[in-house]
């Protein structure tokens, strides 16, 4: 995968990360750090990144991504089948690569209170 992403970066390809939970945010920022020539966008259906985490964490990460040139779109549900979806997030065409980072949620609500 590293080699494939390197080839994308060499041509300044566009990459879309779907899901702005902690996995998606970590992934998009790692891509930016190691492959700064990529044109990165992250989307999520929630109104901010890092959904269940404190608002201060979301603000910090959102500002960081903004400073690094990572385009962010929230309250947007991924819809590759909808023709207007990519235009809505500022892309002229589907991205060169998509990474789906959804469906993972760390939870310990099943643990007994005394644990």
Model confidence, pTM: 0.87
- Residues 5-29 have pLDDT tens digits of 999 999 999 999 999 999 999 999 9
For 15-52, the DSSP string reads EEEE--SHHHHHHHHHHHHH-TTSEEEEEESSSSSSTT
The answer to whether residue 72 scores a pLDDT higher than 80 is: yes
Summarised one tens digit per residue, pLDDT across range 26-71 is 999 999 999 999 999 999 999 999 988 899 999 999 999 999 999 9
Of the candidates 40, 36, 1, which has an alpha carbon nearest to the alpha carbon of residue 18? 40
| Residue 78: both structure tokens together | 């991924």
Pairwise pLDDT comparison (1 vs 15), residue with the higher score: 15
């Amino acid at each position: 995968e590293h080699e494939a992403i390197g080839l994308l970066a060499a041509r300044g390809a566009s990459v879309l990360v779907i899901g702005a939970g902690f996995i998606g945010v970590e992934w998009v920022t790692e891509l930016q750090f190691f492959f700064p020539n990529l044109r990165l966008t992250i989307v999520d259906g929630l109104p901010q990144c890092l959904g269940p985490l404190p608002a201060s964490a979301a603000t910090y990460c959102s500002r960081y991504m903004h400073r690094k040139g990572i385009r962010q779109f929230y309250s947007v549900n991924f819809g590759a089948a909808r023709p207007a979806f990519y235009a809505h997030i500022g892309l002229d065409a589907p991205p060169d690569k998509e990474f789906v980072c959804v469906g993972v949620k760390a939870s310990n609500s099943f643990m007994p209170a005394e644990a």
